[in-house]
Amino acid sequence: MLLLHTSDWHLGRSFHGVGMLAAQRDFVQQLVRTVQERSVDVVLIAGDVYDRALPAVDVVRLLDDALAAITAAGARVVLTSGNHDSAIRLGFGSRLLENGGVSIRTTLDALADPLLLPLDDAEDSPLLAIYGIPWLEPRLVADQLAAPAASHFDVTKAATDRVREDLAARSAERIVHSVVLAHTFASGGISSDSERDLSIGGVGAVPLDLFDGFDYAALGHLHGRQMLSETVRYSGSPLAYSFSEAGHRKGAWLVDVQPAGVVGVTGIDWTPPRNLAVLRGTLEDLLADPAHVEAEGALCQVTLTDSRRPTQAMERVRSRFPDTLVLAFDPTGGTTSAQQSYSSRIAQAPDELAVCSGFLDHVRGWGPDDVERTALAEALDTVRLKEGSL
């Protein structure tokens, strides 16, 4: 049996103001082709199906089209909700959809409701059990799960314990292997013997060994495809959703489960509709350097390092890189005054002209020239004269 592990579709997301629905539809088409060409039996979607709790109508239609195409291609679907989804809305109609080959697991009641599938064609075939653990917000679910504390560790442990209890209760049902979907932040560097209230970068982390005993844990939440252990993996998002993901190879995991267990896990790559480029340098270097030819057709994030902010910077950058979406400035060789906080520089200004000059320096990276200084002084004199006449 072949499982295709995906997650974090984030349908409806935009990329720095650029709509991604067409790119997401292209990804779905690639996924359906993979289902057909590789004879995939089950597509797993480990949470964050939508990008927001209230998706737009065309976004809902895209998911409807995707589920219809996947099931028409011969595969079942098992999906769970993530922190970006509304579990109630995503789970609407789940009992009816089950009959159409789409198993939705978005509630705590569904933790002990696995999809049971035969691993061969024999009448008494051994079974694979696929469980879904949705995103668990500790403060909302701790009491329902009888968790000792409202932490990511405690609610995830309570959920995985409930799954194990259900597996044990089904010992007479020929279940020989189990797969669990979970939308969570798991870390291979900690264990359940560690301090329980653990977080990394402010995000609650759960230990990897909470997934011990399952043949495969299909995780969602992190956007980079990665292997935490042979049996615990993140598929990552199918598309890059930030420039920090420019170096990612987007794809999924193809998991081969046989009566003997998981016999192989293979990476499947998706072809992005547009590449991303992160460029850094002076404006003149970026415009002239032949090494950046490929970036001319990419979505770009550009950081200019000129000591002075160039005039018409975005227009000039886009003359070579027309799809520059983010332009930042990080001047090199800045003056001591530029390194001070703006408030401290203003506090030290001796008069109004110095305040205006400091603001100009703060905004564009250098102070006024003689002509500009004269114009500022004349404007201030005009204001003073008007104030004096009131």
pLDDT tens by residue, 221-269: 999 999 999 999 999 999 999 999 998 999 999 999 999 999 999 999 9
Alpha carbons 146 and 159: distance in angstroms, whole number: 10
349 against 213, higher pLDDT: 213
Alpha carbons 292 and 286: distance in angstroms, whole number: 7
Q: Indicate the residue among 332, 364, 380 that finishes a domain.
A: 332
Residues 328-337 have a mean pLDDT of 71
Q: Do 234 and 226 contact (CB within 8 A), yes or no? A: yes
28 against 308, higher pLDDT: 28
Residues 156-167 have a mean pLDDT of 96
Global pTM?
0.83
Confidence of residue 191 (pLDDT cuts 50, 70, 90): very low
Same domain, 286 and 370: no
pLDDT in tens, 14-38: 999 899 999 999 999 999 999 999 9
pLDDT of 219 strictly over 70:
yes
By residue range, what is the domain housing residue 318? 274-332
Same domain, 158 and 59: yes
* pLDDT for res 181: 98
CA 42 to chain centre: 23
Nearest CA to 87 out of 43, 129, 140, 21 is that of 140
pLDDT of 197 strictly over 70:
no
Confidence of residue 345 (pLDDT cuts 50, 70, 90): low
Same domain, 281 and 215: no
* pLDDT for res 287: 97
Number of domains in the chain: 3
* pLDDT for res 187: 83
Strand, coil or helix: 302? strand
pLDDT in tens, 267-304: 999 999 899 999 999 999 999 999 999 999 999 999 99
E strand or H helix at 291? none
Q: Indicate the residue among 332, 350, 372 that finishes a domain.
A: 332
Same domain, 77 and 146: yes
Q: Do 232 and 191 contact (CB within 8 A), yes or no? A: no
260: which 2 tokens? 């003997």
Residues 169-180 have a mean pLDDT of 91
Confidence of residue 382 (pLDDT cuts 50, 70, 90): confident
* pLDDT for res 194: 38
Same domain, 11 and 96: yes
176 against 350, higher pLDDT: 176
Same domain, 190 and 249: yes
Alpha carbons 369 and 40: distance in angstroms, whole number: 68
Look at the block and give the residue holding tokens 């990897």: 208
What is the number of other CB atoms lying within 10 angstroms of the CB of residue 294? Answer: 9
Confidence of residue 46 (pLDDT cuts 50, 70, 90): very high
Alpha carbons 8 and 146: distance in angstroms, whole number: 28
* Residue 43 half-sphere exposure toward CB, CA atoms < 13 A: 32
Confidence of residue 334 (pLDDT cuts 50, 70, 90): low
Same domain, 260 and 281: no
Q: Indicate the residue among 316, 332, 348 that finishes a domain.
A: 332
Q: Do 175 and 160 contact (CB within 8 A), yes or no? A: no
Q: What is the percentage of the chain residues whose pLDDT exceeds 70? A: 90
Same domain, 264 and 289: no
* pLDDT for res 201: 46
298: which 2 tokens? 């990419």
CATH number at residue 69: 3.60.21.10
How much is the mean pLDDT over the chain? 90
Same domain, 67 and 169: yes
Same domain, 295 and 197: no
pLDDT of 114 strictly over 70:
yes
Same domain, 341 and 327: no
* pLDDT for res 295: 96
Distance in Å from the first CA to the final CA of the chain: 86
Please name the amino acid found at residue 20: M
Same domain, 79 and 174: yes
pLDDT in tens, 118-144: 999 888 899 999 999 999 999 999 999
* pLDDT for res 282: 96
